[in-house]
Amino acid sequence: MARPRGFEPDDALTAIKEAFWRGGYDATSMRDIEQATGLNKQSLYRLYGDKRGMYLKAIDHYSAHEATAAGVLLGDGEEGSRARFARLFGLVDIAVAGDRRGCFFCNASIDQAHRDARVRAAAMRGMEAMRATFEEALGAQGEAANIRQKAAGLLTAYLGLRVMVRAGFDEAALRCAVDDALAGI
């Protein structure tokens, strides 16, 4: 498999992320990654390093995308913080529609962070980026009291909800968790 014409490194990294997100680190083989990207092993190694390097880059790629997407959902709007965070917590609808993968950096933390400080650091960077995005959204609304604490609480609720999604909790339990998280805003 030579590098395909029109090869886009970002598209390949997205495919690598999707492969790891589906199977986790241990269950995802290099063959799986080759099939997902359409690239051969040598090209992948040259571009992204070894399998662990690909995993770390995939976590960072996911983290950047999630923080950006959260920023868009929480961006300026007429409605208050609660309504904007309700849009973000709308991931229950995604889960009900069948996407039960959960959060990639949560999955990486649970699966690999206890074994690898680099994975732990990558996952923490992602979580910190999300917390900062939440803090910025709360601050934009002029809610100065305990912004950092509220942002940390919302991050905890958001990540916990993503784990609940992955674990297969039903819609009623997920909506209850969302309602509880949003009550503090």
Per domain, the residue ranges of the chain are: 59-183
Residue 90 CA neighbour count, 13 Å, CB half: 11
The answer to whether residue 76 scores a pLDDT higher than 90 is no
Dist. CA 103–CA 38, nearest whole Å: 25
Cα–Cα separations (whole angstroms), residue 128 to 6, 10, 33, 36: 34, 23, 28, 29
The number of residues making up the chain comes to: 185
Judge whether 43 and 33 are in contact, CB under 8 Å: no
Single pTM value for the model: 0.85
Q: Residue 125's pLDDT is what?
A: 94
Query: Average of pLDDT values for 100-118?
Result: 93
Amino acid at site 33: I
Q: Which residue has the higher pLDDT, 143 or 66?
A: 66
Q: Which residue has the higher pLDDT, 136 or 5?
A: 136
Q: Residue 91's pLDDT is what?
A: 74
Q: Which residues contact 84 (CB under 8 A, 6 or more apart)?
A: 73, 74, 75, 77, 137, 141
User: If DSSP codes are grouped into helix, strand and coil, which group holds residue 171?
Assistant: helix
Dist. CA 126–CA 134, nearest whole Å: 12
The answer to whether residue 93 scores a pLDDT higher than 90 is no
pLDDT band at 143 (very low <50, low <70, confident <90, very high): low
The answer to whether residue 4 scores a pLDDT higher than 60 is no
* Lowest-confidence segment of 27-41, 74-88, 113-127, 143-157 by average pLDDT: 74-88
